[in-house]
Structure formats: structure tokens, C-alpha cells
Amino acid sequence: MSCALLLTIGGPAAGREVVRGRVSPDYGFAPADIVVQAFIETDVLNRAISFVIESPQFYESSSTELEGDRAPRTKEVRFRMLPAGSYEVTVTVYGGNEQPRGRFVSHVELW
């Protein structure tokens, strides 16, 4: 079973989350493809998003720029053929000056 943590750092007003996420699958047999979906709250301050998956023996990341409130509300990244291990998945939305605005964290177990 996966455990997800959501952190909002200087997030938008009215208690909205800057970013939410979904990881699939959250456990399974290796090698496996892991799909990470980010659901981004529309905001003019959103400038970039990064996806990171890491374990003690493995690290991979993907980043892209966002066009503030004109950016798509959903971004998806597929990490392919991951070896067995216990992984932490982190999605971070950044504002100006590379300041984190929100973060989603989840875990994946591959045997």
C-alpha cells in the first residue's frame, strides 16, 4: 500500500493545493514502468515542475517549464524499466527564483 504526503509551501489562497499527484503502480515486480501524474492548480506564479524518482541505488528526474496560469493542469511522466527497489517519488512546483510552491511525495516498492 502506498503512502502519499502533500506539502504546500507558500501555496495559493483559500487552502487550495498547488499540486496533487498519482503514482501507478505503487508496488509490483521489476523491471517496471512507473507513471507519475501531477494535477496542478492554475496560478500565475507557477514557473516550473520537476518529477524525481529515487532509491539508494537509482535516481532519475524530469523537469519542464510552466507558463503560469496558461500551463496545462495535468502533467505526466513515465519512468521506464525501473529495477527492484524502494523508491521515493517527488513532484515539485516552483515559482519565480526557483522557490518551491508545492510538493507531492509518494513511495513505490518494486520486487
pLDDT of 15 strictly over 80 = no
Nearest to 27 by CA among 87, 104, 91, 90: 87
List the domain boundaries for the chain.
5-110
Is 49 in contact with 91 (CB distance < 8 Å)? yes
Q: Position of cell 515486480?
A: 29
According to the model, what pLDDT value does residue 25 have? 98
Mean pLDDT of 85-108: 96
Looking at residue 59, its pLDDT comes to 98
Q: Regarding predicted confidence, which is higher, 36 or 11? A: 36
pTM: 0.85
39 pLDDT band, cuts 50/70/90, is very high
Q: What is the CATH number of domain 5-110?
A: 2.60.40.730
